[in-house]
């Protein structure tokens, strides 16, 4: 049986150092790190330490006494306006909490299919964060 974990969203991180760009790609099928050559001009600029400014976007982990629960009653997802506000304030790191028992219901087990509605909502929040 194929694990549902392979359906999570893709992530690509580009890191610039010494005239090279390291592309770290985590796709739906497998993690495939690779390094691609780049001109030093592609990575030019003053080197400064990256500063993380983060916030927790809570809600989807609430209502743990009622599984699967009802959206808007037992739990909620971060509002796009909340994400917009924090991005506007300079925040660049977001923690979006969710409840494992909702994404992978106990009745289906850990190797069972994810709850499609809950997973779609998590992907929506992830896509909103990625577009900022």
pLDDT of 102 higher than 70: yes
pLDDT of 23 higher than 50: no
Q: pTM of the entire structure? A: 0.60
Same domain, 20 and 55: no
Same domain, 118 and 65: yes
Assign 105 a pLDDT band (cuts: 50, 70, 90).
Answer: confident
Left (φ > 0), alpha (ψ -120 to 50) or beta: where does 85 sit? alpha
pLDDT of residue 65: 87
Same domain, 54 and 38: no
Same domain, 41 and 78: no
Same domain, 83 and 95: yes
Percentage of the chain beyond pLDDT 90 is 35
Six-digit token pair at 50? 């990256």
Residues 24 and 33 sit within 8 Å (Cβ to Cβ): yes
Q: What is the C-alpha separation between 33 and 37, in angstroms, rounded?
A: 14
CA-closest candidate to residue 78, choices 42, 132, 7, 40: 132
Same domain, 1 and 25: yes
Q: Which domain holds residue 71?
A: 49-132
Same domain, 82 and 43: no
22 vs 116, which has greater pLDDT? 116
Same domain, 69 and 9: no
Number of domains present in the structure of the chain: 2
Specify the pairing of strand 34-37 against strand 20-26. Answer: antiparallel
């Amino acid at each position: 049986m194929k694990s549902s974990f392979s359906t999570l969203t893709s992530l690509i991180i580009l890191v610039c150092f010494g005239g090279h760009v390291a592309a770290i790609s985590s796709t739906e099928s497998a993690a495939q790190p690779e390094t691609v050559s780049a001109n030093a001009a592609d990575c030019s600029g003053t080197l400064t330490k990256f500063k993380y400014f983060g916030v927790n976007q809570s809600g989807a982990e609430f209502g743990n006494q009622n599984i699967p629960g009802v959206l808007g009653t037992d739990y909620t997802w971060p509002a796009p306006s909340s994400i917009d506000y924090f991005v506007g304030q300079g925040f660049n790191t977001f923690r979006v909490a969710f409840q494992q028992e909702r994404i992978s219901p106990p009745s289906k087990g850990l190797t069972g299919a994810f709850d499609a509605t809950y997973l779609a909502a998590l992907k929506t929040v992830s896509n909103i964060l990625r577009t900022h």
